[in-house]
Amino acid sequence: MKELKKGDKAPAIKAKSQNGETVELKDFIGKKVILYFYPKDNTPGCTTEACNFRDNYQSLLKDGYQVLGVSVDSEQSHQKFISKFELPFPLLADEDKKIVQDYGVWVEKNMYGKKYMGTARTTFIIDEHGIIQHIIKKVDNKNASQQVRDLVK
């Protein structure tokens, strides 16, 4: 699959949220979407990033953004993560890895010399028409929402 870039149409998404509700990207046409991919629920970096979006959620909503998180964890894992950290936005379960593959973020990783497949932490900013406006590949977990703001000024 070719690498997505700014100006591309965002690939369609159809996944279950933590509540078992089907969420589709096309449901958000007319709204701007911050679609962020993260490796795993309840890990330090992912928790920091999610809590940063949580702490800035109201101002992101005021600016017209909907926040959606995606990982390959299950709905049940997402429920626990949301409950533990009081996350106000949906987390989508991509257990079959279709979304991470469609967005090109399912990649080979290397930890302590061991190679494995995993999700590359990446944020896509999608406009009201479903077009990718920005892709953040070097996400700063502590300042994830500010990174978005700096790009969309």
Query: Cα angle at 144 between 141 and 149, to 5 degrees?
Result: 165
Active site residue 46: yes
How does pLDDT run across 64-75, given as a tens digit for each residue? 999 999 999 999
Q: Which residues contact 36 (CB under 8 A, 6 or more apart)?
A: 49, 53, 67, 68, 69, 70, 121, 122, 123, 124, 139, 144
Query: What sign for the dihedral angle of Cα 53, 148, 108, 106?
Result: positive
Q: Give me the pLDDT at residue 152, please.
A: 83
Taking 70 as the threshold, does the pLDDT of residue 150 lie above it?
yes
- Domains, the chain, ranges and CATH? 14-152 (3.40.30.10)
How does pLDDT run across 16-45, given as a tens digit for each residue? 999 999 999 999 999 999 999 999 999 999
Region of 88 on the Ramachandran plot (φ > 0 left; ψ -120 to 50 alpha; else beta): alpha
Annotated active-site residue in 15, 33, 46, 87: 46
